[in-house]
A and B are shown apart, each in its own frame.
Chain A
Amino acid sequence: MRSRRVLRRSILWMALGGLGLLLVLPAVAPAQEEVTTSLRRYKDREASTGYYEDYEVEPRGLRPFVGVPGALRPSFPYSPKAAEIRVRTYLADSHRAVKFYEVMTCVACHAEEARDIHTTRGNLTCRQCHGGEPIASIAHYFSPLNPVRRHAYVCSKCHEGSSASFATYVVHEPNPGALETRKTFSSLFYADWFMSLLIVGTMGFFVAHTAVWVSKELYHVFTEKERKPEDE
């Protein structure tokens, strides 16, 4: 009986001591720079602040200026130099070596891109998002439009509090009905097909239905009118 009481008291004192230590000692903190995965760092810091550290977006061991996925895939693959010129998505200056570039306007080449809601409704100019010269390709490591920092550097200028998820909105939306869109934005392509079929199906049936109905009624009216004098 006595030993049980001693045991209880010792557990109580140990618990109180532990609580006291928790209050006195500095708060338990996770390792500040060492994280198990980059996803953890993203969730802890970048997602909450919307800002990225430089090391987070640096190319690390990769070459920063030319790294073209798929460049080696074609039958006659581009050399790194040729890829630098032909595939502009990854360049620091995406308009490098474009002839007479200084006297051209953006829409001279990118007419389709100027038809999006941001340009037509929001009255935004290209440079408000793409930045000044040299305009980096959107996938370039240091571009403000690189998906890793687009929301913080570009979207949040107007959409305060935008997240990386928000920045996946496709500003220069492809033509939903175009066959290429099936590869680049398949959900938009299939949504367009579904709605087109719904519109064509509904209107097709009811327009034909109403047209035949109205004509048939009118036909009956005229034939009855013609018949009446004879009947009388």
Chain B
Amino acid sequence: MNDQVRIIRFNVIHRLFHLFIMVTFLIQGVTGLCRLLYITSWGKALTNFFGGYESVTTIHCRVGVAMLLGFAVHLVYILLKVEWKALRQNLFHPDSLVPRLQDVIHVGQRLRWFLGLGPPPAFDRWTYWEKFDYLAVFWGVPLLGVTGLLLMYPLVTSYFLPGWVLNVTLLLHRAEALLAMLYIFIIHFTVGHFRHGMFPMNECMFAGSVELEEVRREKPLWIVRLEEEGKLAEAMVPAPARWFRVVYFIFGYTALAVGLYLLLILLIYRNYV
């Protein structure tokens, strides 16, 4: 690994944001399922492990608030990073995660490639599924956060809205959480870990860098752009230290195991969901 040429893809702040959402999401997944499946033996056992139903609820609420605060910090970070004077160019630049018309074209090209009707599309820094992964958080966290806050303070909610809104809110919260878990544990994990070329783990979100050869294969337009702009040399970084790799492999695989375990639980107790 040390001989490989690597280029930077995520800076430390990006990786810390990912780490934060990863940890909080898994805690919310576990405590949320404890609450949802409390009537089952599994739910009761795990709830008792966390100190009972009240404790699980407290953890779920506090971590939820932390998640919302993290999201707010991320929004501030984005607002600080945006170049307001050249907003339009900045928003639709290939380095931006805002969807462009090009992404829709890429979806079509890729579907054609799936059917063997054409070559695969050439991607730049962000592919359309990576943009979807990122932007899904922008609808998921506000929806889960707002409904979560309404459910957290039901009496206050009922001052402004009729009480039956809480029934609808609970349904939305539960369904969105379920969608988020299914998406992360099935799609995100498969793309990040189990795909050929990524197995055993896509390290770039932890290491921050990615092999140049891999990028040439998967995102050729990004390399071409970096070469044209003369930024390729400054994007090159050394490989992560061995101890660091060991740490993030253990951490990543622990998170993967927790996620797959929760997915299995969801499948086993699907009638209670």
Q: Which residues of A contact B (CB under 8 A)?
A: 120-121, 159, 161-163, 165-170, 173, 176, 185, 187-188, 191-192, 195-196, 198-199, 202-203, 206-207, 209-210, 212-214, 216-218, 221
Contact indicator A168/B163 (Cβ below 8 Å) = yes
B168: which of A191, A196, A217 is its contact (CB, 8 Å)?
A191
Which residues of the other chain, A, contact B161 by a CB distance below 8 angstroms? 165
- Which listed residue (B53, B114, B186, B190) contacts A121, Cβ 8 A? B53
Q: Give the distance to chain A from B29, nearest Cβ to Cβ, in Å.
A: 16
Query: What residue in chain B is nearest A117 (Cβ atoms)?
Result: B170
Across the interface, do A191 and B171 meet the contact criterion of CB distance under 8 Å? Answer: yes
Identify A198's interface contact among B39, B167, B179, B196, CB under 8 A: B179
Bound CA span A192–B176, Å: 11
B172 within 8 Å of A (CB atoms): yes
Q: Given A121-B53, A170-B164, A198-B179: A191 and B155 within 8 A (CB)?
A: no
**CA of A196 to CA of B168, assembled, Å:** 13
**How close is B216's CB to chain A, nearest CB, in angstroms?**
17
User: Could you tell me if B187 and A168 are in contact, using CB atoms closer than 8 angstroms?
Assistant: no
23 cross-chain CB contacts under 8 A? A159-B154, A163-B155, A163-B158, A165-B163, A166-B158, A168-B163, A169-B154, A169-B167, A170-B167, A176-B171, A185-B167, A187-B165, A188-B168, A191-B172, A195-B172, A195-B179, A199-B178, A199-B182, A203-B186, A209-B129, A214-B195, A216-B113, A217-B196
Name the interface residues of B139-178: CB closer than 8 Å to any CB of A.
154-155, 158-159, 161-168, 171-172, 175-176, 178
- Asked if B191 is an interface residue, CB under 8 A from chain A, the answer is yes
Q: A195-B175, A196-B175 are in contact. Are A166 and B163 (CB under 8 A)?
A: yes
Q: Which of A166, A195, A213, A216 contacts B155 (CB 8 A)?
A: A166
Q: Which residue of B lies closest to A187 (CB)?
A: B168
A162-B158, A169-B158, A187-B165 known, 6 other contacts, Cβ within 8 Å: A166-B158, A170-B164, A195-B171, A202-B179, A203-B182, A213-B195
| A167 contacts B190, C-beta separation under 8 Å | no
Determine the main DSSP class of A at the interface with B: helix
Which residue of B has the minimal Cβ distance to A201?
B179
Report whether B159 and A165 are in contact in the complex, using a CB–CB cutoff of 8 Å: yes
A169 to B166, CA, bound (A): 6
With A170-B167, A187-B168 as contacts: A214 and B179 at CB distance below 8 Å: no
The residue in chain A whose Cβ has the minimal distance to the Cβ of B196 is A217
- Considering residues B113, B162, B167, B191, which has the most beta carbons from chain A within 10 angstroms of its beta carbon? B167
Assess A199 versus B175: contact at CB under 8 Å? Given A214-B194, A216-B114.
yes
Contact residues in B for A198 (Cβ distance below 8 Å): 175, 179
Residues of B with C-beta under 8 A to A191: 168, 171-172
Given contacts A121-B53, A203-B186, A217-B196, contact A166 B154 (CB under 8 A): yes
A168 touches B171 (CB 8 A): no
A203: chain B residues at CB < 8 Å are: 179, 182-183, 186-187
Cα distance, A159 to B151, chains bound together (Å): 13
Report the minimal beta-carbon distance from A79 to chain B, rounded to whole angstroms: 34
Distance in angstroms between the alpha carbons of A206 and B130 in the assembled complex = 12
Would you call B172 and A202 a contact (CB within 8 A)? Answer: no
B189 nearest in chain A by CB position: A210
Docked Cα-Cα span, A210 to B191, in Å, equals 7
Cβ of B155: which chain A residues have Cβ within 8 Å of it?
159, 161-163, 166
A213 to chain B: which residues have CB within 8 Å?
Answer: 114, 195
In angstroms, how far is the closest chain A Cβ from the Cβ of B128?
Answer: 10
Q: How far is the CA of A217 from the CA of B129 in the complex (A)?
A: 17
Chain B residues closer than 8 Å to A210, beta-carbon distance:
186-187, 190-191
**B38 at the A interface (CB under 8 A):** yes
Q: Is B197 an interface residue (CB 8 A)?
A: yes
Q: Which of B38, B176, B179 has the most CB of A within 10 A?
A: B179
Complex-state Cα separation, A159 to B159, whole angstroms: 14
Give A166's nearest chain B residue, CB to CB. B158
Given contacts A165-B163, A166-B154, A203-B182, contact A120 B114 (CB under 8 A): no
Q: Which residue of chain A lies nearest to B182 when distances are taken between CB atoms in the complex?
A: A203
